[in-house]
Amino acid sequence: MSARSTGVAQPLPLTVVLRQGATPVRQGSSGDGLWLVRAGALRIAQVSNDGHELVLDVAGEGHLVGEPPGVVSPVTVRVLRPSRLVSVPPTAAADLLAARAHRAAALAADLAWLDVRTRIARRLEDLADRFGRPVEGGRLIQLPLTQDEMAALAGAARESINRALRALMDEGTVRMAARGRYVVRTRLTVVESVGPP
């Protein structure tokens, strides 16, 4: 039954705006709700007991962050650029949690089965698709990425990342626009013409 048919107004979802550097979720803390990212970029990372950090993902528009109330968070979420989040109503939570689980499983499969060069290429392509802007010869990722960040994103040692980045640059797949700023070459799609020439 809709709000119109009952005459009861539904409350608007809570919206929060977060500044760069804010940490809305901390690993080990109890969840206070699920949030849908409407704008911005948030770094999702986990630190192991021995202090190694793995950046699991960078959440952007349409991604889910946070945990249901009372669920302990396995990750820390830090704002990379100003972000706007909207609270998720319980009726929408299941689909969004499923989408997050599917993305996490795909990223875990990449970490387990792909070599470092392929992992870093895929992560850069994903970031360029979601956070890039068109520039000559590709898409500029509008997030600064240090080599330590790249290593944490690819689950590899910094030295391995340096070799993989050099290989990607040598083949022209990636170029460095400035320190920590990468341009990913866009793939050309050949479209066959239909009908007479």
The CATH architecture of the domain made up of 115-191 is Orthogonal Bundle (1.10)
Average pLDDT over the chain reads: 88
pTM (global) more than 0.75: yes
Amino acid at 155: G
Sign of the alpha-carbon torsion through 161, 166, 168, 174: positive
The closest alpha carbon to 147, from 127, 126, 176, belongs to 176
Cα(53)–Cα(107) distance, rounded to whole angstroms? Answer: 15
Query: Are 139 and 184 spatial neighbours (Cβ–Cβ below 8 Å)?
Result: yes
User: Which tens digits make up the pLDDT trace of 104-138?
Assistant: 999 999 999 999 999 999 999 999 999 999 999 89
Looking at residue 13, what is its pLDDT? 72
Domain boundaries, the chain: 14-113, 115-191
Mean pLDDT along residues 135-142: 94
At residue 21's C-alpha, the angle toward residues 15 and 22, to 5°, is 40
CATH number of 14-113: 2.60.120.10
User: Which tens digits make up the pLDDT trace of 13-69?
Assistant: 789 999 999 999 999 999 999 999 999 999 999 999 998 889 999 999 999 999 999
- Burial pattern 76-87, b for ≥16 Cβ within 10 A else e, equals bbbbbbebebbb
Q: How confident is the model at residue 191 (pLDDT cuts 50, 70, 90)?
A: very low
Write the secondary structure of 97-142 as one string of H (helix), E (strand) and C (coil): HHHHHHHHHHHHHHHHHCCHHHHHHHHHHHHHHHHEEEECCEEEEC
Mean pLDDT along residues 161-186: 92
Q: Is the pLDDT of residue 188 over 50?
A: no
Q: Tokens 């387990």 appear where?
A: 112
